[in-house]
Structure 1
């Protein structure tokens, strides 16, 4: 029996080929006799800002699909949480369709301009410094969010397109109160970068030369006008004409102007990709495929299951939790990239045999873990390219939302502008991304290429990991995801392990200390109990522990219970949860 139970109706054969299974027939899941499916547990939205949650819930009350709610909620996030994501960036949607029991990954990641070069972040033999690269024109990729909105709405949407933008347009026109999180970022980012120097962003975020304060009523008529045009004209309003011209002008401005062109923007396309699934005990963990990093959840949970076998207490399992991360991160860093540009041995990396082998050979606590050799588990060893080391750093500038609608459809959506406030370049009421810094910036002529090297039209690897889990009967069980740059796989792994193995509620899971193990060091959030105890125990076991006060997670998750839904918003951000009871659902949330 294949280890991938949840297959998309349009991509059934593609998923079966990933697993190495045979494929025949039309590929439509309806052909294999799925009975009529009834959902009576209600609906739920959880996201990083209450305005966004209210917008998503409004769409669900109108009978909208989870995708309708996700678009409405994210359009609001781009207004009230511009430090994290927006229409000037990109996003991933993992979408579950309840009536057909299908799952599909919609990739709205930014793409590199046609004229990029692999050495564009090099200055002689040195890599450009982070701040210089972050605030540069060369860091701006083609935004994918609006195209993702339109493509997913055409496929799943139930409400009229224009209705989805009403909450964001109203809020941008009438104003909203600046939140503590946005206000807290402004002085720091203004000093570090160019947010207070770019004419548009300076006027908006630093009126009269001072950063916005908590509670300030902030209006954004430019954003309202942009969304009005998109609501009336669709994606063409963004990818052609005046807005596209303004994006190009901003990207080509000093300092360090980029090469982004009108053709780059007009030619942007999203990608539909098969989801990938793997087992944890009797549960199925499913996620987006590369360029996402969600497949690391299958790797981490699979190795963790072997490493923690025979252990009953959570505290005893922490070393297994750390080692599973260390090995999965090493493999992710070495093998994951844009699947349209490089060959990724995904089938081998998530195979139970490979994960069992990796778990049986952990690294010593103080050692830097190395990637594994999936070639020994492949029938086609020539297809497994070996790449040079890649330690690409992603800075947290991202947001996540989880939604289940009244028909049982689900969306796990993670969206980003890369670093806080993206590139700080302001266009038509929104900020442009600095997503090209998610590529491997170092370029060494004559050396082996990096899997995540810069190339024209390529999508940079992302740590974003939208994830959905299913129970032993194949029913929807959990929707989860997080922002957090390179830490995202660790944060999402915590949400899965805490609920599915440690017996925590979603609220307990998101509140639990974050533990990040990428490379030789293990970071532990010690200001959240029992973080200090965990740090002390790991130190005693020989791990190189960095004690941290605060981690920039933003987990937003929904758990399907026997009669209802229960959700959680990460207390480290400003999110909320809203539940809409079904006709017979019991409110055990």
Structure 2
């Protein structure tokens, strides 16, 4: 055994005790140094710009709003504000002012990447066991429905922050399309209709929510004209006073009073103390590409790094399909195990980022993969022994200067906690369910967690949202998706497709499969794998479960530097909703 293999095996044995350690002091690991040094030439040269801008989002109204702001002289960051605000209006099941998100930005003039963490925070009155009953067991739906489920929103602060630090236009101009649309009206779409059905009864419990989203207590028919004057006024306050118009003063007092009247625990101090955090992104080197993605409190970037580092040990494109899927699934399994046991808010727990993203650590994990047999998850040390809906939203933007924005935003489950404070015009989130309410107890997406992601005052819950950039010698990609626990594996599949030379639309349409450690099953989309491949994987010990429906709603843009063209792709899994625009080329889905 050579020294590298011996060291990798030693790391694998010692990994569990290391989970609580801080990253060691000193320079980055050698692998990390090489990744940054080699990846730099992959970036566009100064003065190298796309021929035109491109936007892909989950709703045509939002894509049009972003294009309007670009045409008015805005950059990708101004357009991101416009797209975000419109999505919060026309796609309330997925995101909005009452939620949060992650914004990954690339500033072309400085060749700089920044990750804006606008994740929601637990109220200061939150307690570790607040969702447990007297018997010590989790109370069903307490962390999902109603005011107690809501964490402090981050998106309003993010819009103000991006406008002040990265945008070119006044915040009022970027918010203008959403304000106008809220007053003039928008048409209730097929996705709105599909997602509202199983939340109708909960929405009906909130008179303000019912007034906004139901018609005579029932689900609006597709095509119904919807208006939201309260939303317009809230955006106007944000435009006039910035974040202070939301987090302080009369509006904040009204918001807190409404939450507390409904049984919540917010305070005005919670709102006044909220601030976005700029963090350093995760950087990954794979197959000659640089991937820039989300750091904690997202689990997505570390998960991607772990999977890709494991796969670096194989010539994946040269393998037969069943071998390729088997090895990828085994990498997913191990990365998801580390998510469950080691990740949380980095301001509260020591997440061993350098260990988990180390090529040597990945080599140790790879050593435990049998090329022909699945490893039962119960044999991997971790937590004791869960579903993903498109109840988050993602959009991708590139402007004519080469600025990039990958933004994933959410209210967690469809229509959040189904509560609207009267006069505000938006739903609140139920992000408290993204904490580990009790070690080993699955959340609504079937994800288990441990103490690293336990509820604590002021803490941000772990998230799967994974906005991502891809930099290569011939292409620059921007992508992301909703999908709960399946987000990081969907982004992985999209990235691999782009690295294989596929275009933006082909990447977002790629068939999907997923493994998340627990429950121990390989989930595949209905058309993802052929019968022979499924049978082969089952023979290796995988429990293959074919989903009833496809999942996700990926949005991507791609700058083909070699051809001088720009593409945009919108997920075909939702028909008649998303829109991808790149100059004269427009794709509706």
What TM-score bracket applies, with the shorter chain setting the length? 0.7 to 0.9
- How far apart, CA to CA, are the structure 1 residues paired with 2:146 and 2:192? 22
Give me the whole-angstrom Cα distance separating, in 2, the residues matched to 1:16 and 1:513.
42
Tell me if 1:286 matches 2:292: yes
DSSP-derived class of the 2:365 partner? helix
Partner in structure 2 of residue 260 of structure 1:
266
- The answer to which of 393-402 and 349-358 deviates more is 393-402
Distance of aligned partners of 1:156 and 1:310 in 2 relative to their CA distance in 1, 3 Å threshold: closer
8 Å CA contact retained: 1:290, 1:338: yes
Q: Aligned ranges for residues 296-375 of structure 1 at < 5 Å?
A: 296-309=303-316, 311-362=318-369, 364-365=373-374, 367-368=376-377
- Could you tell me how far apart the structure 1 residues matched to 2:317 and 2:217 are? 60
Alpha-carbon spacing, 1:15–1:245, altered in 2? closer, same or farther (3 Å): farther
Provide closer, same or farther for how the CA distance between residues 307 and 495 of structure 1 changes in structure 2, counting only shifts above 3 A.
same
CA contact (8 A) 1:295 1:350 kept: yes
Distance 1:170 1:303 in 2: 49
Distance (whole Å) between structure 2 residues aligned to residue 110 and residue 307 of structure 1: 39
3-state SS of paired residue (1:115): coil
TM-score, length-scaled by structure 1: 0.85
User: Which residue in the other structure is 2:405 paired with?
Assistant: 411
Q: Distance in 1 between matches of 2:322 and 2:337?
A: 24
Shift of the alpha carbon at 1:328?
0.9
Partner residue, 1:68: 78
Change (3 A) 1:437 1:310: closer
Distance 1:393 1:183, change over 3 A: closer
Between the aligned partners of 1:547 and 1:314, the Cα distance in structure 2 is 17
Distance 1:232 1:176 in 2: 24
The separation in 2 between residues aligned to 1:432 and 1:512, in whole angstroms, is 33
Superposed, which structure 2 residues align to 1:407-446 within 5 Å?
A: 407-427=401-421, 428-442=424-438
Give structure 2 stretches of 5+ with no counterpart. 1-22, 34-39, 441-448
The answer to whether the Cα contact below 8 Å between 1:78 and 1:85 also exists between their aligned partners in 2 is yes
Contact 1:122 / 1:443 at 8 angstroms: preserved in 2? no
In structure 1, the partner of 2:166 is 156
Q: Deviations over 1:275-323 (max 9, x none)?
A: 1111111111111210012221122122123245583444541112211
Is 1:575 equivalent to 2:588 in the alignment? no
Given candidates 28, 50, 53, the residue that maps to 1:43 is 53
Q: 1:394 Cα deviation (Å)?
A: 7.4
- Counterpart of 2:541 in structure 1 is 542
| 1:398/1:430 CA distance change after superposition, 3 Å | same
Residue 237, structure 1, aligned to residue 245, structure 2: yes
CA drift of 1:541 comes to 2.5
Distance in 2 separating the partners of 1:15 and 1:394: 36
Written as runs of structure 1 = structure 2, the 5 A alignment for 1:33-182 is: 36-182=46-192
1:249 matched residue in structure 2: 257
Q: State the 1:118 CA deviation.
A: 0.2
Judge conservation of contact 1:120–1:138 (CA < 8 Å) in 2.
no
Q: Are the counterparts in 1 of residues 94 and 393 from structure 2 also a CA contact under 8 Å? A: yes
The residue number in structure 1 matching 2:36 is none
Q: By how many angstroms is 1:512 displaced?
A: 2.5
How far apart are residue 40 of structure 1 and its match?
Answer: 3.4
How many matched pairs?
Answer: 537
With normalisation by structure 2, the TM-score equals 0.85
DSSP 3-state at the match of 1:113 = coil
Q: Aligned to 1:297, what secondary structure does the other structure show?
A: helix
CA contact (8 A) 2:411 2:428 kept: yes
Cα drift, residue 212 of structure 1: 0.8
